[in-house]
Structure 1
Amino acid sequence: MPSSALPAAPDCLLDANGQPRFGRYQGRIAQLDWHELPLSRWQRLLRPLRHKRWQYLALTHPNYVIGLAVVDVGWTGAAFAYLFDRRAGRLLADVGTDSFPRHRAHVADQAFADADFASRALTISFSRRDAYLAVDVKSPTLQLAAHIAISAMPPVLAAIAPGDWLAHSTHKSGALEASGFADCQGQRFSLDGAIASLDYSNGLLARETGWRWASAHRAGLGFNLQQGYMGKAENAIWINDQLLPLEGVGFDYDPQHPLRPWQLRSDDGLLALQFTPEGLRSKNQNLLIASSRYIQVIGRFDGHINHPTSQAVHVVQNLAGVTEDHFARW
């Protein structure tokens, strides 16, 4: 049975001996620097290619779901932004682009801070201010201007795990307030009332990495679930003002028919959810030096989450979020 609280996040990723501080924590790790990690000569040569950073933002609303990210792969960069209309049941915009052979992505070594990507097809900017994160998106089909409140946010999950190679870190937020607007297909979507969540990752990953992932949040309740390269390190639930760890999570779905319902259950019995898809994004790219195959499914979660100490049952009903199945050779 997991404890009712996580230890406070350390101030840096590595201990005095240069070893990763593997574990799950509450709070933000201020210093995200891997340079003192002991490496072999071969690992040092590979390091620039294996260092991956990304920042992702989700905005969920009864009428829409918006997702966007800037990804620094080490040797190249990428970005995407989409808007899914839940009322119409379809993507109104889905823009994704890579910057190979030029590198146009920058992600700061600080969680929920600056990141940017610029190309003719898509420009994304995250800019850290004192009380909020300013986010701007410009593309022919989607424009967005948002402020994400980060001064008084729910407890942040910080996790450090082996990540299938040397070490990887991630930070996940709970439900955040958002303001602003998105313009798409001649419509203006107000972000007032939307729930924002942030995902920041920074680490040294294997050449081939795969995961399944699910995330959804509302005020006072949310979860981040992963099966894959991070093990159980980033599995957690948010209940009111508490951040609580989960054990391993199983994803039961049909890869050939991802729009059929998914079943998600934690090994500790605290979480049981059905995910009902409403739409999806997918990509199957095979380059000579890299490949990526993923589906990201947009929909709603129903089920229950039990508090690990009080055993109080928290009903999950029509909670908008996403699931994902992703394999990358990068």
Structure 2
Amino acid sequence: MPCRFSQLAPEHLIDIHGNPIYGQFDGMVEELNIRDFHYYNNMGRAVNPLSKYLHFKQFQFVSVHTPHFILSAAMSDIRYWGTGFVYLYDIHRNTLVEASWLKSPLFGYHFSHSPKHGESHIGTGAKQLAIAINDGVWQLKLECLKLKADLVLTQPSLSLPVALCTPTGYNGWTYTQKHNGLKPTGKLIINGESQPLSQALASYDFSAGFMRRESSWRWASINTRLNDDVIGLNLAAGVNETGSTENVLWVNGEKHLLPSIHFDFDRHIKRESWHLVSQKGDINLTFTPRSHRSEKRNLGWLQSNSKQFIGDFNGLITDSKGRKYHLNNVLGITEDHFSKW
């Protein structure tokens, strides 16, 4: 079972001795202060400044679910370049359109290293993506694919994100902050039509750190209404698994830490159903893909192979108080990702 105890979020993630503060946090870290991190190689020698700069990676992701569309937008800074993508999935037509960015580190994108404030952006003009964070509240601004978005993601009263830092590999660490079941407000215009947001839900993901040279993860995310409850779910395997996990269920904003999860699927069969199950069976879900977005880049010394699926979840989730939630064809997202950086 996961640790049920959290600590107050520190203002700075790196302590006065140059070490990251590990564990689950109640709240958001103000600054990652990566300059203060004492980074050593596998033989215990201090890493030079250039290598330290290049080894830091960062991602930001926003997903918005309406009764008719799923909109997802992401940016990543892997230091050698900046990337971004947007896709729009039409639920009723089962169609997906997408746009992407690949920018030089010298121009074309900018990232804030704070999970609580700052602005990140990629692209310009009629094809641009920006994410602003103001005291922990996320704002998505987007223009591309015949859509425009200017949305604020509002969390339920007293609701907290999952925020944690765990060791990664021999000498690295990863900070992850995610929140599902958020309420988007503002404007979303698709093909010239303003979209109603009264039933829309959203989520965000901020992940950063000194990750493994070869990193991989499996991930699942849900934003839905179940009877009279707003349900948000985040499940992952592959990165944050030392001492605690990022697996969380939100029920009307209340956060429930969940146990470790196993993702069982055949990545070589695109339409293959996934099985997501915990050791004691308090999470037991199947996921059947409808559509997917994939991206591969192979430069030898830099590689990425990412597939993000949209599909239906069925099965059972049990929260930390023993209450059970049955999912019946609930639309959500999964991802199977590999990177060599």
Tell me if TM exceeds 0.5: yes
Which whole-Å CA distance do the structure 2 matches of 1:102 and 1:153 have between them?
Answer: 40
Instruction: Find 1:317's aligned residue among 298, 313, 328.
Output: 328
Match of 2:65 in 1: 60
Deviations 1:204-261 (A, max 9, x none): 1222211111111235422211111222521222234432222321111121223222
Alignment partner of 1:22 is 2:22: yes
Quick one: higher RCO (CA 8 Å, sep 6+), 1 or 2? 1
Asked whether the 8 Å contact 1:62–1:320 carries over to 2, the reply is no
Amino acid at match of 1:107: F
Which whole-Å CA distance do the structure 2 matches of 1:146 and 1:212 have between them?
Answer: 27
Instruction: Find 2:220's aligned residue among 202, 214, 224.
Output: 214
Quote how far apart the aligned CAs of 1:119 are: 4.6
Instruction: Find 2:276's aligned residue among 251, 259, 264.
Output: 264
Amino acid at match of 1:12: H
Alignment partner of 1:157 is 2:137: no
SS class of match (1:45): helix
Higher mean C-alpha displacement, 97-106 vs 287-296: 97-106
Deviations 1:128-181 (A, max 9, x none): 456953321122543322222258462111111123351110101131111234
| Structure 1 unmatched ranges of 5 or more | none
SS class of match (2:9): coil
Amino acid at match of 1:69: A
CA RMSD of aligned residues (A): 2.4
Asked whether the 8 Å contact 2:181–2:201 carries over to 1, the reply is yes
Alignment partner of 1:326 is 2:337: yes
Give matches, 1:178-217, under 5 Å. 178-185=184-191, 187-217=193-223
Residue 312 to residue 151, structure 1, CA distance change in 2 (3 Å): closer
What TM-score does the superposition give when structure 1 sets the normalisation length? 0.89
Higher mean C-alpha displacement, 27-36 vs 127-136: 127-136
Corresponding pairs, count: 328
Quote how far apart the aligned CAs of 1:273 are: 1.0
Quote how far apart the aligned CAs of 1:57 are: 0.3
What TM-score does the superposition give when structure 2 sets the normalisation length? 0.87
Asked whether the 8 Å contact 1:96–1:122 carries over to 2, the reply is no
Which whole-Å CA distance do the structure 1 matches of 2:62 and 2:274 have between them?
Answer: 23
Amino acid at match of 1:149: T
Residue 25 to residue 319, structure 1, CA distance change in 2 (3 Å): farther
Which whole-Å CA distance do the structure 2 matches of 1:48 and 1:131 have between them?
Answer: 25
SS class of match (2:8): coil
Asked whether the 8 Å contact 1:81–1:96 carries over to 2, the reply is yes
Match of 2:310 in 1: 298
Give matches, 1:208-247, under 5 Å. 208-218=214-224, 220-231=230-241, 233-247=245-259
Asked whether the 8 Å contact 1:131–1:150 carries over to 2, the reply is no
SS class of match (1:42): coil
Deviations 1:46-104 (A, max 9, x none): 1111111221101112322110012121232111111001111110x201121136442
Which whole-Å CA distance do the structure 2 matches of 1:3 and 1:284 have between them?
Answer: 36
SS class of match (1:162): strand
Alignment partner of 1:97 is 2:101: yes
Instruction: Find 1:273's aligned residue among 274, 285, 295.
Output: 285
Alignment partner of 1:108 is 2:115: no
Deviations 1:269-308 (A, max 9, x none): 3211111212100111112542210110011222111123
Residue 240 to residue 141, structure 1, CA distance change in 2 (3 Å): closer
Instruction: Find 1:73's aligned residue among 70, 73, 78.
Output: 78
Which whole-Å CA distance do the structure 1 matches of 2:291 and 2:148 have between them?
Answer: 21
Which whole-Å CA distance do the structure 1 matches of 2:300 and 2:124 have between them?
Answer: 22
Which whole-Å CA distance do the structure 1 matches of 2:142 and 2:220 have between them?
Answer: 24
SS class of match (2:168): coil
Residue 38 to residue 134, structure 1, CA distance change in 2 (3 Å): closer
Residue 33 to residue 5, structure 1, CA distance change in 2 (3 Å): same
Instruction: Find 1:124's aligned residue among 124, 129, 142.
Output: 129
Amino acid at match of 2:24: R
Amino acid at match of 1:143: K
